[in-house]
Amino acid sequence: MSAREIQDQKTIAGEMFVQQAAHANAEVSASPLRGATICSTKSRRDYTVESATADKFCEAADTSLLPVNRVDAADLMRVLRQLEVIAKRQAPRIAFKAKGSILLLDLADILAVQAEGNYVSLRHRTNPYLVHESLSSMAEKLKPYGFIRIHRSVVVNISAVEKIQPLPTGEYRLRVKGGKEYLVTRTYKHNLRDLAQLWVGSERLCG
């Protein structure tokens, strides 16, 4: 599951929670208590519904005073935390051989993949790792997980991109988290459109 999908699930969970609360409020508003009165108690927030009597001071029923179900921030945070745990368990990982062992890394921690001869270098947040695989093969395998090719020798994680800068040559300079910069050639510049879901200000951005 990509970072974008995780965020989308969080947003959906939050919207569903709010909609459920709004639906509950609508049901309360649509069912006024006819002929009932609302009597004051010790707490301003607490009301009891009783019939009017001579020895009690009561006010006429007003649906605007009925308790309103509000979104509980604590419940919402708990739902989001649970969703985050589930998403983390399902987060895509990459497995490869390194120094006689098999390493497993979260794809979200791979900033870029760069060709180095017959190998590719996985640019991890802490250390690079060499894997015996072609860049074309890696680009194809990583594409469904939010990686795009920007150069014949470089593939980047779109969630790691912080900035792109147009160059006079028609190419682009791209910076990822940590400050590393890569050149985006004209052959692959159309892939930059996948960096964001919404482009504003110009229709000619990124070719």
| Residue 200 within any structural domain of the chain | no
- Mean per-residue pLDDT for 188-192? 92
Amino acid found at 126: T
**179's torsion region: left (phi>0), alpha (psi -120 to 50) or beta?**
left
Domain that holds residue 55: 3-90
Task: Report the side by side order of strands in the sheet with 161-166.
Answer: 161-166, 172-176, 181-184
Residues 45 and 139 in one domain: no
| Residue 38 within any structural domain of the chain | yes
Task: Report the side by side order of strands in the sheet with 119-124.
Answer: 128-131, 119-124, 110-116, 154-157, 147-151
Q: Is the pLDDT of residue 54 over 50?
A: no
Q: Give the residue with greater pLDDT, 74 vs 170.
A: 170
Q: How far apart are CA 182 and CA 66, in angstroms?
A: 60
| Residue 182 within any structural domain of the chain | yes
Residues 45 and 21 in one domain: yes
Half-sphere exposure of 1 (CA within 13 A, CB side): 15
Residues 107 and 169 in one domain: yes
Strand, coil or helix: what is 201?
coil
Residues 172 and 103 in one domain: yes
CATH number of the domain that residue 135 is part of: 2.40.50.1020
Residues 83 and 153 in one domain: no
Contact 119, 133 (CB under 8 A): yes
Q: Which of 25-29, 43-47, 90-94, 192-196 has the highest mean pLDDT?
A: 192-196
**How many domains does the chain fold into?**
2
- What does the pLDDT read at residue 73? 77
Q: Is the pTM of this model over 0.75?
A: no
| Residue 206 within any structural domain of the chain | no
Q: Give the residue with greater pLDDT, 152 vs 66.
A: 152
Residues 44 and 24 in one domain: yes
Q: Is the pLDDT of residue 110 over 90?
A: yes
Q: Is the pLDDT of residue 32 over 60?
A: no
Boundary residue ending a domain (71, 90, 109): 90
Boundary residue ending a domain (41, 66, 90): 90
Q: How far apart are CA 44 and CA 122, in angstroms?
A: 62
- Mean per-residue pLDDT for 79-87? 70
Q: Which of 29-33, 84-88, 128-132 has the highest mean pLDDT?
A: 128-132
Residues 61 and 146 in one domain: no
| Residue 126 within any structural domain of the chain | yes
**Exposure string (b/e) for 9-31, b if CB count within 10 Å is 16 or more?**
bbeebbeebeeebeeeeeeeeee
Amino acid found at 113: V
Tens of pLDDT, residues 114-164: 999 889 999 988 889 999 999 999 999 999 999 999 999 999 999 999 999
